Amino acid sequence: MAASLKIISEQLGLSKAAVSIYFKDPSTRRISKENKERIRRLADELNYRPNVIAQSLSSLKSHVIAILIPLNVSYFSSTFLNQALCGIQSVLFNKGYNFIFIPTRGSNSPVIVRKQLERSRGYDGFILFGTRACSEENMRENVEQMLKADYPFVVLNMPDLGYEINQIVNVTPKSSSAIRYLLELGHEKILLMAGARQAPDTVLAIQEYRECFSERGLAVNENLFLNGDYEEMVARSELLQAINNGIEFSAIYCLTDTMALGAYEALNEKGLKIPGDISVIGKNDSFFARFLNPPLTSVRVLMYEAGKLGAKNLLRRIESNETPRKIFLKNELILRLSSAVYRPLNMDQGIE
């Protein structure tokens, strides 16, 4: 049985309040010196530590931010997420906020978030993180829930949802479009290694793909849209299968660097040279991108900054009730050696 204020106060013949006052500020003058000394001694003896749960209840402030991630698998392996977490952490820790991850077993995003919210009243704020399992529509439902419950929150890793809420949006300006860049290099058969069709990132990428192609009057071949599920191994096998099926392409744009790893593997296995035969571009500019062979051209997404700004705005909302704001961060295409000017591929030679 852990020592509590009550136990200490009873043993000393004081009120809980008196003991509480002392611990809140040991230099207080509201408690007599003798009593301070007695409290200190007994607390030390009983190894007293305040109960944060009770503190939170009584002060109606928990100093805990819940991070809601609509995904029911381990997600700390995602470099995307980890970059954002680093940014979030840098702000929250400075301001003395803890952050918590809530478990769920739901199958889809709205269910997961709803369940998380059911177990969340009492936390000071929320960070909603978009994932591959969370369509834009899903996230809108989630946002509606948050608004209805009147929770302070911020949305990360999602396209602009249109609400007047705290949101950090990472956008790709035309000048940083991987597809546009590949087209400029002369590639016209560009394979898109994306995720499931409803994943927001995939939706945006396909939209951008179509725009770029229609601008140039080129037809879009839907067979070039693969679903690598944001997993290295899936991307690898999808690509191998595409090659085996005789699908022709001279460049690949992968919506994560991890899938680009899978692409590298598949191309190596097939004896295709990067970028001699096939150009590859990744997304997120993970720290390992420049160490690959060849170094990977990648779209840098400012997730660290997104996490940092998101957390800042959330705290502003919590502590000063500032009005929500939307911030746009521009992605940047980082050129490395995995992408090159189009050169017709001699299929007989390249693929065994």
Q: Is 82 in the site for a copy of itself (CB under 8 A)?
A: yes
Q: Residue 216 CB, nearest distance to a copy of itself (Å)? A: 33
What lies within 8 Å, CB to CB, of 268 at 6+ separation is none
Task: Give the x-and-dash track for 254-283 against a copy of itself (CB under 8 A).
Answer: -------x--x-------------------
Judged by beta carbon distances under 5 to 8 A according to partner kind, the member of a copy of itself, DNA, none in contact with residue 120 is a copy of itself
Distance CA 83, CA 295 (A): 20
With beta carbons less than 8 A apart as the criterion, state whether 99 and 124 touch. no
Judged by beta carbon distances under 5 to 8 A according to partner kind, the member of DNA, a copy of itself, none in contact with residue 277 is none
* Residue 30 vs 273, nearer CB to DNA: 30
> Which 195-254 positions form the footprint of a copy of itself (CB under 8 A)?
232
Judged by beta carbon distances under 5 to 8 A according to partner kind, the member of DNA, a copy of itself, none in contact with residue 273 is none
Q: Is 174 in the site for DNA (CB under 7 A)?
A: no
The pair of structure tokens assigned to 257 is 């660097």
How many residues bind a copy of itself (CB under 8 A)? The answer is 56
Place of tokens 């071949």: 221
How many residues bind DNA (CB under 7 A)? The answer is 33
Q: Is 121 in the site for a copy of itself (CB under 8 A)?
A: yes
How many C-beta atoms lie closer than 10 Å to residue 302's C-beta?
19
Distance CA 77, CA 342 (A): 34
> Which 62-121 positions form the footprint of DNA (CB under 7 A)?
121
Nearest CA to 167 out of 320, 322, 309, 319 is that of 309
What lies within 8 Å, CB to CB, of 78 at 6+ separation is none
With beta carbons less than 8 A apart as the criterion, state whether 316 and 322 touch. yes
Judged by beta carbon distances under 5 to 8 A according to partner kind, the member of DNA, a copy of itself, none in contact with residue 185 is none
* Residue 3 vs 111, nearer CB to DNA: 3
Mode of pairing for the β-strands spanning 332-334 and 297-300: antiparallel
Distance CA 245, CA 91 (A): 49
Q: How far apart are the first and last CA of the chain?
A: 71
Judged by beta carbon distances under 5 to 8 A according to partner kind, the member of a copy of itself, DNA, none in contact with residue 96 is a copy of itself
Distance CA 132, CA 115 (A): 18
Task: Give the x-and-dash track for 6-45 against DNA (CB under 7 A).
Answer: x------xxxxxx-xx-xx----xxxxxxx----------
HSE-CB at 182 with a 13 A cutoff on CA atoms is: 30
| Residues contributing to the site for DNA (CB under 7 A) | 2, 4-6, 13-18, 20-21, 23-24, 29-35, 48-51, 53-55, 57-60, 121
| Residues contributing to the site for a copy of itself (CB under 8 A) | 2, 47, 49-54, 56-57, 62, 64, 72, 74-77, 82-83, 85-87, 89-90, 92-105, 117-123, 148-150, 232, 261, 264, 287-288, 291-293
